[in-house]
Amino acid sequence: MDRLCSVNRLISTRSLGDSVWKTQIRHLHGYTDSDFAGDRSDRKSQGGYIFRLYGGLIDWQSKKQLLVATSTTEAEYVACSEATRKARCLIQLHKDVTGDLVSPPIYCDSNGALKNIWSGVSSAKTKHIDIRFHDSRELHAQGIVRFAYVSTDENLADIMTKALAPERHQRLVKSMGLRKIP
């Protein structure tokens, strides 16, 4: 349960609010992350994503993955797939509301997962991954979403997948656009 301390701390903090309209970042974008085999009882990984629009959080999830990943790359690749599914919904919602079609970036800190998405080719270490998780690769190739690298220190979804040091937790909370409510 320690790995979810950051998530619980974020959710239970009632003195935080979202400063949606006070930012210059006006496009839809997401972050995705996963731990690897973080649950000691069944060795399943925790995946998560965060989506922002106008600098404020509009959707987020932290969820144990349904399969046991055999590598960090696989766990991150599955997390990318979950984020891709949510991005499709948010793209459609954005189009319905504004009339604009967007192609949001989704930031990930796993070079291995990104290499598989960008290249469209499975390596020996990932060829066993179920076909249902390859939507990220297809939608990136079509330009519907754009996967990009972000350093682990700047990956906002890190807060959704593991316990963090208090200083890093506070920095990520601030980076997400959350602020204290007076």
pLDDT higher at 2 or 81: 81
Question: Both tokens of residue 143?
Answer: 């330009």
Beta strands 178-180 and 16-18 are antiparallel
pLDDT value, residue 177: 80
Any idea which fold 2-180 has? Answer: Nucleotidyltransferase; domain 5 (3.30.420)
Report pTM: 0.79
**Of the ranges 46-55, 128-137, 141-150, the best mean pLDDT one:** 141-150
Q: Kindly list the domain boundaries of the chain, sorted by start residue.
A: 2-180
Average pLDDT of 101-111?
93
Q: pLDDT tens across 45-82, in order?
A: 899 999 998 878 899 999 998 888 878 888 898 899 99
| Residue, of 133 and 98, whose pLDDT is higher | 98
Per-residue pLDDT, 33: 94
Lowest mean pLDDT among 40-49, 106-115, 152-161, 171-180: 171-180
Is residue 127 very low, low, confident or very high in pLDDT (cuts 50, 70, 90)? Answer: low
Phi first, then psi: give them for residue 147, nearest 5 degrees. -85, 140
For residue 145, pLDDT over 80 is answered with: yes
Q: What are phi and psi of 78, to 5 degrees?
A: -65, -40
Res 100: pLDDT:
87
